[in-house]
Amino acid sequence: MAFPRELYKALEDIVGKENISENIGVCETYRCVPSQSSAHYGPTKNWTPRPQAVILPGSAEEVQNIVKICNKYGVEFKASTTFWSTMGYIGGDFALQIDLRRMKSIKIDAKNMHAVVEPYAIAATVQAEAMKVGLNLNIPGVGCSSSTLANFSTWVAFGPNSISMGYGNENVLGMEWVLPDGEIVRTGSLASDDGWFCGEGPGPSLRGIFRGAFGAAGSAGVCTKIAVRLHPWPGPADFPTYGLAPAYKADWGPNFKCYTLCFPDWKSWARSIQYFYESDIAYSGHRQFNMFGRNLKGAMIEIISNHERQLTDLEELVNDPYIKEQTEKMRHDYQVVIAGFTPKDMEYKEKAVDYILEQTGGWKSEMMLEKDKHDYALLYLTRLGHKNLNYVMCGAYEGVLGLTGNVWKAIEVADEATALKRKWETEHTSIAATGGDSAMGCLSGLGGGGTTGWEFFTNFDSYDKNSVEGTYAFVETTQALMNKYAFGPDFCRWNSDVRKMNGYNYTQEEQNEMFKKAAQPWVFIYQYKIREAINPKNLCGSYVRTLDPKALEE
Amino acid sequence: MESMKQNLVDIVGAANVIDNPEVLASYAKDESFATPMKPWFVVKVENAEQVQNLVNWARKSQTPLVPVSSGAPHFKGDTVPSVPQAVIVDLSGMKKILSISRQQRMCVIEPGVTYGELQEALAKEGMTLSTSLRPRANKSVLTSVLEVEPRLNCLHQFNYVEPLRCTEVTFGDGIQMFTGEAGGGPQDLKKQWELGKWQVHPGGPGTTDIVKMVTQAQGSMGIVTWASLKCELLPTVRKSYLVPAKKSTDLEDFVYKTIWGRVGDRLFVMNKAYLAYLMGDTVEQIAELKTILPNWVAPVSLSGDILLPELKVESQEYGLKEYAKQTGVHLLPEVPGVTADEVIEKASTPSGENYWKLTYKGGCQDIFFVTTLDKTPKFIEAMYELAIEVGYPTEDIGIYIQPQHMGTSVHLEFSLPYNPDNAREAKLVKELYTAASMRMSKLGAFFSRPYDIWSTIQLNKDAQYYMLLRKVKEIFDPDNIMNPGKLTIK
């Protein structure tokens, strides 16, 4: 249903003609495949609904006025910026898509190590500005082209740096929110204009109603500005790189090393990770290149780190005896970046890594010590600017399984999960055969260690119906494995209870049915009550899981 | 009243319901200037089931509940009822350490566990817990972390509320639940441990950080009956230094640089009076220390545990010396009157039976808030100006600056010792406390833990935030039975 003229005019009056459009061609570009994973474009044939209009506000005040208009006319709205994944898109027919790309300021307080950012300040830009003053930030796995504000305030935000910097929730300081009812709330020290330095309180921390283990993905209003904690960067201020596109590399001198550490089995692998949790040695830690699959990663690393190589070289490289041997040695591996704040600090950290390897029977991958590969991996993990590689094999991918949490628990399932995927790879043609184990993810999803977060990359062809349907069927089997070991929803079904496969929001009745049998239904009741308090007209989609208390009484 | 008492007896047993006037009087006031209010009963609870029954009873009978886990003396007014006919819920008897996992570096404890008890148990497993500055001997660890008392090691404070992770909480509406990772179920700790779940991740459950509702809340949302805490490895090597300075500003660059360089596991700043109160065991010793200590001191400590500890300390020492050189300060193993090892040891361990802040004059009023290190000089200057105005001896003002949350902010604390038996002195300190709290607020102090008069001062600054806070309170405590009167604007 098209917007009534007076509604469109009211919105136009807020932002000006040039910042709003109801052109079908424009609105059509604000649609997305309705993946139910957290941040991928999974196997599906549907699309999210087309918004009735797209609007680009330039300030919190404009956002507030837009939201008030939406409340007046009962218009669903959702704000997004870099539009990575389905979460940022509207889920109803009478809906307004808010695009925050005009709001992109960055202000850094170098002494007190934080940056105040607007929605379209992407991580790459925040990082570049921070590095000028010796600082860096946690860039989540989604990559540096995504919005720092969106990641930290409304989703999860863990990545390679989280082991030394903490994940999104740990790094949020003051926040400015336009609530779904149009009121503006500022949390922490900001609530009293005292500054952006503290995110908690006064009293109970109300920012807890906007995000928990993960955020509300735009269903709790519009976050218009946040302060994020920055962390020390002992490298150069100008982030020098070398090499030819797309195989850029970095050499930041002797105080930076990127190692691929390898282990004889999962147990020694997990023990080594525990050592990293218990020390302050790792600047970054990620099992990165295994995303190409256990059998292909050596060959793929050769291809992506060498600008003269092509994907057509894959078969030749896979069969190359040296690469074959090196790939085999990297079966149980991960990458770590070690950064020295002083030469002595680097000396200690180098020796500590060697000590860990000695204690666990591990080794450093020789191939990854070659200068071009080392420098490529160092830049990759520090910048996370290569997200295109996620798609390079088949044009689409989905993360499945999701062995998150206790690393010791995860390894108990690793071989079975690998065998399951390998079996599917060899018995079906729907997903790429990469070697079964394609688990990738961060060493720690929490600052200082404690929980891991893997997903098994599953490559498929989104233009091939059989591949899409086969991949979907594969997920049925991985979910069964997840259930068997009490790991909860499969990674690619994290959002299956917040948006339907047809791209639309769930109704309250549908959510009631899902959540009334939960282990702790109270959580969803509290979320319902909070939504009622700040979003009485329920205008921001269904990404906040809610349970009407009346449904439980029934 | 008798029927009310019988209801309580039915829930916790006759031996655990106390209406002895002397005991009630002891809960009617604390060491702060909060208005005294005698409670109706004190009930000692032994488990979460009793807590839930008590909350449900309080809802029906509209009886205010005030949870208390630490032993006296209390200092902030949060355990003094703000309304009549309240029941004190004494959780100090819940003293179980429910689990210690060396592999996960986690422990789960009940509210009555003190720092001394927990550290002793953790040490057996080669672990320790980051601590607030020399807590009282009978201080509840759980209360300390729920109220977000600043930790000595800001560099491992990845989360603002570290080391707090998951909890079991009974909210004011009677619902009892697990928070954080534990909220994913099953709602049984033993079953979770069997599944390899150790209550590590604090976030959630879901899109809401439920644990944030009970932090800095002064018991006004619910009652926590266990909490999981992140532990550290017990250092095997330690080396400490004191960095003296004439002015606090002389230490600023050094502190910033040390935090940036991620050096050490203890770093804070004190003026001579505060350090004297911490280190002196008698009035005479304190008086002596106040005459010989440097004006300002930044204690800093380096430690190593299982991974090449000597080499780690050596490398950190190299960095520390570099930063000291760059910022023009000196690292000393001792200053007149105290050694660095003594300061670090004393700061890191619980107080003796006589709480150290009371040694000098028998009473003490603190003013503390959150700010940034570079803003501290203006608050310090204002405090001295006010002290002179009201006639409080400036040399008695203790000042403690504790970097927190990996250095993004600091806890700034002014400590004002006084003789509570001297009415004139008490009146003067109360006047200074009130005036200084208001002045600091105007200068930008953030009372993140708004006790007593700070509640009105802080919450008055933002009507929108306050309105939302009241809405949230209504969700979790619809009958307003949980410590009513706290976190309100009066």
Q: What is the mean pLDDT of each run of 10 residues along chain B (490 residues)?
A: 90 97 96 95 98 98 98 94 97 98 97 98 97 97 98 96 98 97 93 95 91 97 98 98 98 98 97 98 98 98 96 98 98 98 98 95 97 98 98 98 97 98 97 98 96 96 95 98 95
With CB atoms and an 8 Å threshold, state whether B465 touches A544.
no
Q: How many CB pairs under 8 A join A and B?
A: 304
| Nearest CB to B308; choose among A211, A348, A544 | A348
| Contact status, residue B202 vs residue B211, Cβ threshold 8 Å | yes
Quick one: how far is CA A374 from the chain centroid? 24
Contact map slice: A 503-522 vs B, CB within 8 A: 518-520, 522
Instruction: Give the per-residue SS3 of A443-492.
Output: CCCCCCCCCEEEEEEEEECCCCHHHHHHHHHHHHHHHHHHHHCCCCCCHH
pLDDT for the residue A302: 97
Spell out the domain ranges in chain B: 2-90, 97-233, 237-348, 361-443
Contact map slice: A 370-409 vs B, CB within 8 A: 405-406, 408-409
Bridge partner residues of B363 (DSSP) = B418
Q: Which DSSP string do the residues of A57-71 spell out, in sequence order?
A: --SHHHHHHHHHHHH
CATH architecture of B2-90: 2-Layer Sandwich (3.30)
With CB atoms and an 8 Å threshold, state whether A212 touches B204.
yes
User: Count of CB atoms within 10 A of residue B327's CB?
Assistant: 17
Residue A241: inside a domain: no
Q: What is the pLDDT of residues A67-104, one digit of tens each?
A: 999 999 999 999 999 998 899 999 999 999 999 999 99
Q: What is the CATH number of domain B361-443?
A: 3.30.70
Global ipTM = 0.96
With an 8 Å Cβ cutoff, is A552 touching chain B? no
Q: What is the CATH number of the domain that holds A428?
A: 3.30.300
Task: Identify which of B204, B188, B198 has the alpha carbon closest to the alpha carbon of residue B228.
Answer: B198
Contacts of B207 in chain A (CB under 8 A): 211-216, 219-220, 527, 543-545
Spatial neighbors of B389 by CB under 8 A, at least 6 apart, are B435
Task: Name the token pair of A253.
Answer: 């001198």
Residue tagged 């740990």 (tokens): A170
Contacts of B236 in chain A (CB under 8 A): none
Q: What is the CATH number of domain B97-233?
A: 3.30.465.10
In this prediction, the residues of chain A whose per-residue pLDDT falls under 50 are none
Contact map slice: A 445-474 vs B, CB within 8 A: 445-448, 450-451
Residue tagged 């995860």 (tokens): A410
State whether CATH 3.30.70.3450 applies to domain B237-348: yes
| Contact status, residue A65 vs residue A109, Cβ threshold 8 Å | no
Q: What is the pLDDT of residues A348-377, one digit of tens each?
A: 999 999 999 999 999 999 999 999 999 999
| Contact status, residue B37 vs residue B30, Cβ threshold 8 Å | no
* B2 Cα to chain A: minimum distance (Å): 34
pLDDT for the residue A69: 98
Task: Name the token pair of A47.
Answer: 């699309």
Task: Name the token pair of A473.
Answer: 């069927």
| Contact status, residue A184 vs residue A178, Cβ threshold 8 Å | yes
| Nearest CB to B464; choose among A183, A203, A522 | A183
Verify that A531 and A457 share a domain, yes or no: no
* A426 Cα to chain B: minimum distance (Å): 32
Spatial neighbors of B299 by CB under 8 A, at least 6 apart, are B240, B241, B242, B243, B266, B267, B268, B270, B340, B343, B344, B347
* B335 Cα to chain A: minimum distance (Å): 28
Q: How far apart are CA B391 and CA A394, in angstroms?
A: 78
Contacts of B472 in chain A (CB under 8 A): 204, 206, 209, 530, 533
| Nearest CB to B201; choose among A220, A229, A451 | A451
Verify that A330 and A305 share a domain, yes or no: yes
Task: Judge residue B322's burial from the number of C-beta atoms within 10 Å of its C-beta, 0-12 exposed, 13-18 middle, 19 or more buried.
Answer: middle
Return the residue of A nearest to B460 by Cα. Answer: A192
Q: How far apart are CA B413 and CA A392, in angstroms?
A: 56
With CB atoms and an 8 Å threshold, state whether A348 touches B311.
yes
- Which residue range(s) make up the domain with A299? 247-385
Q: How far apart are CA B430 and CA A550, in angstroms?
A: 50
With CB atoms and an 8 Å threshold, state whether A203 touches B217.
yes
With an 8 Å Cβ cutoff, is A138 touching chain B? no
With CB atoms and an 8 Å threshold, state whether A206 touches B465.
yes
Q: Which of A64, A99, A134 marks a domain boundary?
A: A99
Contacts of B409 in chain A (CB under 8 A): 112, 189, 197-198
pLDDT for the residue B70: 96
Residue tagged 């990996």 (tokens): B406
Q: What is the CATH number of the domain that holds A212?
A: 3.30.465.10
Three-class SS of residue B187? coil
Contact map slice: A 207-226 vs B, CB within 8 A: 207-209, 211-216, 219-220
Verify that A262 and A375 share a domain, yes or no: yes
Residue A238: inside a domain: no
Q: How far apart are CA B76 and CA B293, in angstroms?
A: 29
Bridge partner residues of A176 (DSSP) = A186, A225
Return the residue of A nearest to B157 by Cα. Answer: A447
Task: Name the token pair of B179.
Answer: 């928070």
pLDDT for the residue A39: 64
Q: Which DSSP string do the residues of A324-361 spell out, in sequence order?
A: HHHHHHTSEEEEEEEE-SSHHHHHHHHHHHHHHHHHHT
Contact map slice: A 145-184 vs B, CB within 8 A: 165-166, 169-170, 173, 179, 183-184
Spatial neighbors of B356 by CB under 8 A, at least 6 apart, are B134, B277, B278
**In total, how many domains does chain A have?**
5
Task: Identify which of A439, A451, A517, A510 has the alpha carbon closest to the alpha carbon of residue A478.
Answer: A439
With CB atoms and an 8 Å threshold, state whether A189 touches B409.
yes
Task: Name the token pair of A34.
Answer: 């309705």
Bridge-based pairing of strands B237-245 and B296-304 is antiparallel
Instruction: Give the per-residue SS3 of B11-43.
Output: HHCHHHEECCHHHHHHHHCCCCCCCCCCCCEEE
With an 8 Å Cβ cutoff, is A545 touching chain B? yes
Contacts of B376 in chain A (CB under 8 A): none
Contacts of A529 in chain B (CB under 8 A): 475
| Contact status, residue A278 vs residue A449, Cβ threshold 8 Å | yes
Q: How far apart are CA B398 and CA B414, in angstroms?
A: 6
pLDDT for the residue B2: 78
Q: Which of A200, A232, A264 marks a domain boundary?
A: A232
pLDDT for the residue B28: 96
Question: Do the domains at B97-233 and B237-348 have one common CATH topology?
Answer: no
pLDDT for the residue B78: 95
Contact map slice: A 33-92 vs B, CB within 8 A: none
Quick one: how far is CA B450 from the chain centroid? 13
Q: Which of A319, A351, A385 marks a domain boundary?
A: A385
Q: How far apart are CA A532 and CA A528, in angstroms?
A: 6
| Contact status, residue A261 vs residue A366, Cβ threshold 8 Å | no
Task: Name the token pair of B321.
Answer: 């010396």
Return the residue of B nearest to A112 by Cα. Answer: B408
DSSP H helices in A485-519: 508-515
What is the layout of strands, in order, in the sheet containing B222-230?
A: B97-101, B106-109, B222-230, B164-171, B176-178
With CB atoms and an 8 Å threshold, state whether B262 touches A341.
yes
Bridge partner residues of B107 (DSSP) = B100, B229
Verify that A355 and A398 share a domain, yes or no: no
Q: How far apart are CA B430 and CA A434, in angstroms?
A: 72
pLDDT for the residue A43: 72
What is the layout of strands, in order, in the sheet containing A95-99?
A: A20-21, A53-55, A95-99, A76-80
Q: How far apart are CA A75 and CA A94, in angstroms?
A: 6
Q: How far apart are CA A482 and CA B467, in angstroms?
A: 42
| Nearest CB to A195; choose among B206, B210, B372 | B372
| Nearest CB to A213; choose among B105, B205, B405 | B205
Residue A240: inside a domain: no
Return the residue of B nearest to A446 by Cα. Answer: B201
Phi, psi torsion values for B49, nearest 5 degrees: -65, -45
Contacts of A111 in chain B (CB under 8 A): 256, 372-374
Q: Give CA torsion, residues B262, B267, B269, B273, to 10 deg.
A: -170
Q: How far apart are CA A127 and CA A133, in angstroms?
A: 10
